[in-house]
Amino acid sequence: MTTNSLTTSQGAGRAGDKVFSGAAMAAGCLILAVLFGVALFLVVQAIPALTAPPADIQGGHGFFAYIAPIVVGTLIAAVIALVIATPVAIGVALFISHYAPRRLAAGLGYVVDLLAAIPSVVYGAWGAAFLAKEISPAYDWLATYLGWIPIFEGPASATGKTILTAGIVLSVMVLPIITSLSREIFLQTPKLHEEAALALGATRWEMIKMAVLPFGRPGIISAIMLGLGRALGETMAVALVLSSGVLTASLIQSGNQTIAAEIALNFPEASGLKVNTLIAAGLVLFVITLGVNMIARWIITRHKEFSGAN
């Protein structure tokens, strides 16, 4: 029993296993290192701007005074985008999952995915060349009849290149994200719940209210948050469409700015402290979108256990 014929084996193969699994793990660790590196390098390059004397920073009042209105502008644009996109996206998702004829459903899903495939710069060009011009008369109308509401205060921009227009373009870009996620969630509603509702004599809409929407609510919330993350970070839709300026409450005048557009417009020609300032702005954007995305993913993982879809 001392010699075991099973121990004489291919030793080289065993090393192969170690090499391969090591390489795979190294690749994974590389990703963590990259992410960590993003944060680190951004911070390092941003610090000079954060610690510089206020007078040196654009606007003359220090970094936070510079960035605060831009952050607000970013939020305004994102909120406009979500307010428009969310109801439409949920409607489209419901349409594809529960209303459209079965044979068409896959094709319709593909059509909506086409919206996602169009590059952002093309949306920006469309927004600047087409949408802004077409929507400008509507802004005049708003300024005339609803001008007493601060967000519609006139005089309306002649070119139509306002933050509202940018927000509309953003909503078109965010729509496919929310739609496809919601659609998948609606399709995963357990047939049992749907059938139970229908067997009670519910109409289609009542069945959706009873079975589909409650089941899908956490998924919808996380889809909205992912859309929010995208809207916050989008550059081209804003840079090409918005005629930027100082923070204004009126949505139909030119003015306002988002972080991403500010960086895109100024970085190529920037030098010295301006570069650090813009990188610091990028860091702020990174932190905001990181937070939003982490919350969204946390919601999804927390509910995966209860969704029964495994």
Partner 1 sequence: MTATVARKRSALTKGQLPKFAPYIVLAVALVVAAAIMALIGFNAFGWGIVAAILFAVGLVSWSGAVEGARKAKDKLATCLVVGAFLIALLPLISVIVTVLINGIPGLITPGFLGTSMNGVTGAFDNKAAEEGAPVLGGIYHALMGTIQITLLATVISVPVGLLTSIYLVEYGNDRPLARAITFFVDVMTGIPSIVAGLFAAAFFFAIVGPGTKTGAVAAVALSVLMIPVVVRSSEEMLKIVPNELREASYALGVRKWRTITKVVIPTAISGIASGVTLAIARVIGETAPILVTAGFATTINNNVFGGWMASLPTFIYTQILNPTSPSNPGPSDQRAWGAALVLIILVMLLNLGARLIARMFAPKTGR
Partner 2 sequence: MSKRIDVKDLNVYYGNFLAVEDVNINIQAKSVTAFIGPSGCGKSTFLRTLNRMHEVLPGARVEGEVLLDGDNLYGPGVDPVTVRTQVGMVFQRPNPFPTMSIRDNVLAGVKLNNKKISKGAADALVEKSLVGANLWNEVKDRLDKPGSGLSGGQQQRLCIARAIAVEPQVILMDEPCSALDPISTLAVEDLINELKDQYTVVIVTHNMQQAARVSDKTAFFNIAGTGKPGKLIEFADTTSIFNNPSQKATEDYVSGRFG
Give me the residues that bind partner 2 (CB under 8 A), please. 1, 4-10, 13-14
Q: Least distance (Å) from partner 2 to the CB of residue 11?
A: 8
Does an H or E element contain 243, and which? Answer: none
In the complex with partner 1, the residue whose CB is nearer, 41 or 150, is 41
92, interface contact from partner 1, partner 2, none, CB < 5-8 Å by kind: partner 1
HSE, CB side, 13 Å, CA atoms: give it for residue 153. 7
Q: In this structure, are residues 181 and 228 in contact, taking their beta carbons and an 8 Å threshold?
A: no
Whole-angstrom distance, CA of residue 263 vs CA of residue 270: 10
128, interface contact from partner 2, partner 1, none, CB < 5-8 Å by kind: partner 1
Q: What angle do CA 237, 89, 101 make, to 5 degrees?
A: 130
151, interface contact from partner 1, partner 2, none, CB < 5-8 Å by kind: none
User: Binding residue for partner 1 (CB under 8 A) from 35, 83, 106, 200?
Assistant: 35
Q: Least distance (Å) from partner 1 to the CB of residue 249?
A: 26
Q: Least distance (Å) from partner 1 to the CB of residue 117?
A: 5
Whole-angstrom distance, CA of residue 29 vs CA of residue 182: 32
In the complex with partner 2, the residue whose CB is nearer, 1 or 114, is 1
4, interface contact from partner 2, partner 1, none, CB < 5-8 Å by kind: partner 2
Scanning 65-73, 146-154, 158-166, 286-294 for contacts with partner 1 by CB under 8 A, the matching segment is 286-294
SS3 90: helix
Q: Does 30 bind partner 1 (CB under 8 A)?
A: yes
26, interface contact from partner 2, partner 1, none, CB < 5-8 Å by kind: partner 1
DSSP strands (E only) in the chain: none
Q: What sign for the dihedral angle of Cα 24, 27, 31, 33?
A: positive
> Could you identify the residue written with the tokens 């870009």?
173
Whole-angstrom distance, CA of residue 177 vs CA of residue 274: 34
